[in-house]
Amino acid sequence: MSVAASGVTRKVSHISCNICDSDVLSQGGYRDIPDCPTCNSTPRTRAVIHVLSIALFGHPIPISQFPERRDLIGIGLSDWGYDKPLAAKLGYRNTFLNRQPRLDITDPPGDLDGTLDFLISSDVLEHVPPPVQKAFDASYRLLKPGGVLVLTVPYVATGKSREHFPDLGQWKILDFFDTPILVNHTDGGWEVFDNLSFHRDLDGSGSLEMRILSHAAILEHLRVAGFHDVTNYTDFQWNQQDSFPFLARKTG
């Protein structure tokens, strides 16, 4: 079935939400617009579970069909929507960048190295301070041999990455006449940035966008970190023709 709106024809299909098993009327919308009437999931969050289930169990299945495997140890970075269902099935816990339980993916504690069967980083790495390679390197270190990184991050299909604040030193976001600005101090002096971009979550919180990555740069960051078995899953129906999830496996 298809519908036409404003001269654009969209394919409409009924799908089963792999997070809560509800029926979803999918219109091929944007990856971050909630469309599940029950759990408020988005195409992106369902894509994460789709890729994770393939990585762990060999084929796409909903969380309700995951076997109870407390021996499969994983961490989520600021997950939402599927965090509680995953914790009910696997040895999984959720963490956050800016609040408790906190995990700084650019500098995680060393006792976590080599302990994870899976790590979920969904739209997080555009927010960590530069250099972003530290987050890719740490993700690799946290995984056991054979462990997997499920990664989503907004990216552009062509061109180069763009760092908004490449020389961050001591910095702070200030309110300047009801407008947020970033003030940065480096060895070269002071910098002030306005027109900041914040990505809003469903709970109303927002995280500062530090960069826009390119597809080629993501693959290179993964390679430098040590990942060589990488798949970019591009068979999801959303309006953006980019920002599809990656699955990277730590070999050895």
pLDDT tens string 108-160: 999 999 999 999 999 999 999 999 999 999 999 999 999 999 999 999 999 99
Q: How many domains does the chain have?
A: 2
Q: Is the pLDDT of residue 242 over 90?
A: no
- Count the alpha carbons within 13 Å of 172 in the hemisphere toward its beta carbon: 3
Q: Is the pLDDT assigned to residue 20 strictly greater than 90?
A: yes
CB 80 within 8 Å of CB 32: no
Determine what percent of the chain is predicted with pLDDT higher than 90. Answer: 82
Indicate if 118 and 193 belong to the same structural domain: no
In a domain, 232, yes or no: yes
Give residue 169's domain range.
Answer: 165-208
- How buried is 49 (Cβ within 10 angstroms: 0-12 exposed, 13-18 middle, 19+ buried)? buried
The residue type of 57 is F
Judge contact between 142 and 112, C-beta under 8 A. Answer: yes
Residue at 51 is within a domain: yes
Whether residues 133 and 226 share a domain: the answer is: yes
Mean pLDDT of the residues in the chain: 91
One domain, residues 113 and 200? no
Residue 50 is assigned to a structural domain of this protein: yes
| Whole-structure pTM value | 0.92
Same-domain check for residues 105 and 191: no
Return the closest-CA partner of residue 43 out of 244, 247, 246: 244
- Per residue in 165-201, pLDDT (tens digit) is 999 999 999 999 999 999 999 998 999 999 999 986 6
Same domain, 77 and 145: yes
Structure tokens at 138: 């740490």
Does residue 138 sit within a domain?
yes
